[in-house]
Amino acid sequence: MKSMKNDSQLLSETVRVQVRFSEVDSIRMVWHGHYVKYMEDAREAFGRKYGLEYMYIYRQGYLAPLFDIRMRYHQTATVDDVLLVTITLRSSRGAKLVFDYNIRKESDNSLVLTAESTQLFTNMQGELEASCPDFLTEWKKTHQLC
């Protein structure tokens, strides 16, 4: 997995999430499904920061549905923990976005979860786009990703 940029040039964003009571299960651990929501919060923040919001993609005539999510749990989080969710765009070719995630506790910087997600591009009829859309090629050029 070769990156076109060195680590100091990777595009990333971090969001803070405070775990709410409604997000923990009966054994006081964050229910696993909520981590997907925290990752979505990070993807939305990334889009705002770098001009790649979902509605921008939509206005270009495309959708970017999730194709794959992989998560690895390292420890639990519970009520009132503040989590730092960092998303980093991974270099990839073609009509897809691949992100890496690290979720850490703000209190001690301990690692809670690592993950990756892949989004593919489709047209508005849901047909898979095989080649990189023009707007994405231009976006990558703007951010010196190709």
Which segment of 3-17, 27-41, 57-71, 109-123 scores lowest on mean pLDDT? 3-17
Residue 68 lies in a domain: yes
Please report whether residue 113 resides in a domain. yes
Residue 117: inside a domain? yes
Is 40 a domain residue?
A: yes
pLDDT in tens, 64-97: 999 999 999 999 999 999 999 999 999 888 899 9
Higher pLDDT, 7 or 60: 60
| 11, pLDDT greater than 80 | yes
The residue length of the chain stands at: 146
In whole angstroms, give the CA distance from residue 31 to residue 123: 33
Assigned domain for 1 exists: no
Question: For 99-145, what is each residue's pLDDT tens digit?
Answer: 999 999 999 999 999 999 999 999 999 999 989 999 999 999 999 88
Distance CA 123, CA 3 (A): 27
pLDDT at residue 93, as a whole number: 86
| Total-model pTM | 0.91
| 77 within a domain of the structure (yes/no) | yes
How many domains does the chain divide into?
1
Does residue 2 lie within any of the structural domains?
no
Looking at residue 2, its pLDDT comes to 39
Expressed as residue numbers, the domain containing 58 is 7-142
pLDDT at 55: 96
Mean pLDDT rounded to a whole number for the chain:
93
Q: CA–CA separation, 127 vs 38, rounded Å?
A: 28
Read off the CATH number of the domain in which 123 is found: 3.10.129.10
Q: Is the pLDDT of residue 1 over 70?
A: no
Distances in Å between the alpha carbon of 8 and those of 5, 50, 100, 109, 112?
8, 16, 15, 20, 23
Model confidence at 33: pLDDT above 60: yes
Asked, for residue 126, whether it belongs to a domain, the answer is yes
Spell out where the chain has E strands.
Answer: 12-18, 62-63, 66-73, 82-90, 96-105, 111-120, 122-123
